[in-house]
Amino acid sequence: MSQLEQHIAWRYIFSKKSHNAINIVSGVSAAAVGVVTAAMVCVLSVMNGFGSLIETMFSQFDPQLRITATTGKSFSIEDEAIQSVIALPCVELVSQTVEETALIRYKDHQLPAHLMGIDDNFQQLTQIDSIITDGTFSVYDGAFERAVLGQGLANQVGINAHFVGGIHVYSPKRTERVNLMRPDESFNEATVFISSTFAVNQVKYDDTYMLISLPLARYLFDYDSVTVTALNLQLSPDVTTRQAKKQIQHILGDNFRVLDRYEQQADFFRILKIEKLLTILLMAFILLIACFNIISSLSMLMIDKKEDIRILNNLGADLPTIRKIFLYEGWLISSLGAVIGLIVGLILSLIQEHFGLIKLGNGTQYVISAYPVQVQGLDILIVAIVVLLLGFVAAWYPVRKLQIDQ
């Protein structure tokens, strides 16, 4: 598009029209696009904030990297490839875990629970201390086996960290057949005493997880002293998770999976991405409706400038050139609204991010007091592209029907 066409389009936007309604409709068009653009920026930023908040909660419990077997539930830590990974300079801390489902009973309450046997390094590898809600973290005190329960699970069982009664744990013997004559002998049993409760604020953990010592878990589930169901890694600060993950996966081959925090919670983050995509599509549909104002204003302008169109044609401007002028003008209207909307949306998001003016409830019922916000550059780029693309389509629709009256 030539500078002449752009200059004429700019003049048409700000020049006086014969009908004041055209100026009003053009202003409304730009304002409508701006409002929807600002709303898109704010909504996506809030979704990013909630996603980052949940990610932080998971990071307090999930390790930086987790190694699991591709086939079967367990593997040996004496495996040559596993030992090679443990010896890597980028691996700062290693924690072994054994996880299975077992039946727990406290007085008249009994229900299945997800037992996780952990070693001494687990407390250093995660931020479990920061999510303890009652009691003191301990899975073995030197005399008695202890347990750390998810807060929801403790409520279901009817126990808390100050109770002195023991929790009975039952797990079927994995290596033996059920004795129909004495079925009680077909279970490994143990008694543990609750030391504390934790809350990740995720049902998956809070309502099902129970942490016990690694030796006790191996006894309950019939694993030897070198067998684990997962190996958890903490990396040194000078290496990125992506680089380390790629290197470790190459060493382990296809027999093992190396999962980062996103992959450990793949279902959750997949749902989050789908929700974000649906939000963008919904807001784009609302924006499309707002762009109908551009069609109206551009159609009215072309009618108002019929004489100018005839003069331009007589001066040598052909039909495609004249169409480009009005196409550029319609696109400028949407662009003006997009720029204003992006600026307003960014300002509102940054104010909420730093000052938390909009509260969640009364500020005490939730994990955080105000709506979390996180502005991401990629979202701003996506919003800008969507707005400009729909604005161009809205301008092209009426312009394509423009004809020169002789």
For position 13, what pLDDT does the model report?
61
- % of the chain residues with pLDDT over 90: 48
For position 233, what pLDDT does the model report?
96
The two structure tokens encoding residue 395: 């301008």
How many angstroms separate the CA atoms of 118 and 301, rounded? Answer: 72
For helices 20-59 and 292-304, angle between their N-to-C axes, nearest 10 degrees? 160
At 285-294, the pLDDT tens digits run 988 888 888 8
How many angstroms separate the CA atoms of 355 and 339, rounded? Answer: 24
For position 343, what pLDDT does the model report?
95
CA geometry: angle at 96 spanning 112 and 261, to 5°?
Answer: 80
For position 35, what pLDDT does the model report?
92
Of 4 and 114, which is predicted with more confidence? 114
How many angstroms separate the CA atoms of 315 and 73, rounded? Answer: 81
Give the mean pLDDT of 76-93: 94
List phi, psi (to 5°) of 97: -135, 150
The two structure tokens encoding residue 103: 């039946």
Look up the pTM and report it: 0.75
| Confidence bin at 299 (pLDDT 50/70/90) | confident
- % of the chain residues with pLDDT over 70: 88
**Other C-beta atoms within 10 Å of 320: how many?**
8
Has residue 181 got a pLDDT over 70? no
The two structure tokens encoding residue 359: 């509260």
Least confident of 175-184, 348-357, 393-402: 175-184
| Confidence bin at 242 (pLDDT 50/70/90) | very high
Q: Single out the residue of 341, 285, 269, 351 nearest to residue 47, CA to CA.
A: 269
How many angstroms separate the CA atoms of 295 and 310, rounded? Answer: 21
Helical (H) or strand (E) element with 122: helix 122-125
At 333-373, the pLDDT tens digits run 888 889 999 999 999 999 998 888 888 766 555 667 788 89
Give the mean pLDDT of 225-229: 95
- Are 302 and 398 within 8 A, CB to CB? yes
DSSP code string of 271-289: HHHHHHHHHHHHHHHHHHH
What is the CB-side half-sphere exposure of residue 241 using CA atoms within 13 A? 12
Has residue 406 got a pLDDT over 60? no
| Confidence bin at 85 (pLDDT 50/70/90) | very high
At 262-287, the pLDDT tens digits run 899 888 888 888 988 998 899 889 88
**Distance separating the N- and C-terminal Cα atoms of the chain:** 25
List phi, psi (to 5°) of 174: -70, -30
At 25-84, the pLDDT tens digits run 777 888 889 999 999 999 999 999 888 887 777 778 889 999 999 998 999 999 999 999
Place of tokens 């005490």: 364
| Confidence bin at 202 (pLDDT 50/70/90) | confident
- Bridge partners, 106 (sequence order): 109
- Are 127 and 140 within 8 A, CB to CB? no
How many angstroms separate the CA atoms of 204 and 181, rounded? Answer: 37
The two structure tokens encoding residue 387: 């707005």
Computed from CA positions of residues 345, 351, 352, 357, in that sequence, does the dihedral angle turn out positive or negative?
Answer: negative
For position 262, what pLDDT does the model report?
87
For position 322, what pLDDT does the model report?
76
For position 266, what pLDDT does the model report?
84
- Bridge partners, 222 (sequence order): none
Q: Single out the residue of 241, 232, 197, 236 nearest to residue 214, CA to CA.
A: 232
Has residue 213 got a pLDDT over 90? yes
DSSP assigned state of 161: T
10 burial class (0-12, 13-18, 19+ CB within 10 angstroms)?
middle
For position 182, what pLDDT does the model report?
67
What is the CB-side half-sphere exposure of residue 308 using CA atoms within 13 A? 16
Q: Where are the domains of the chain?
A: 3-58+269-399, 65-261
For position 319, what pLDDT does the model report?
76
- Are 168 and 189 within 8 A, CB to CB? yes
List phi, psi (to 5°) of 175: -100, 5
Q: Single out the residue of 37, 143, 9 nearest to residue 388, CA to CA.
A: 37
Helical (H) or strand (E) element with 36: helix 20-59
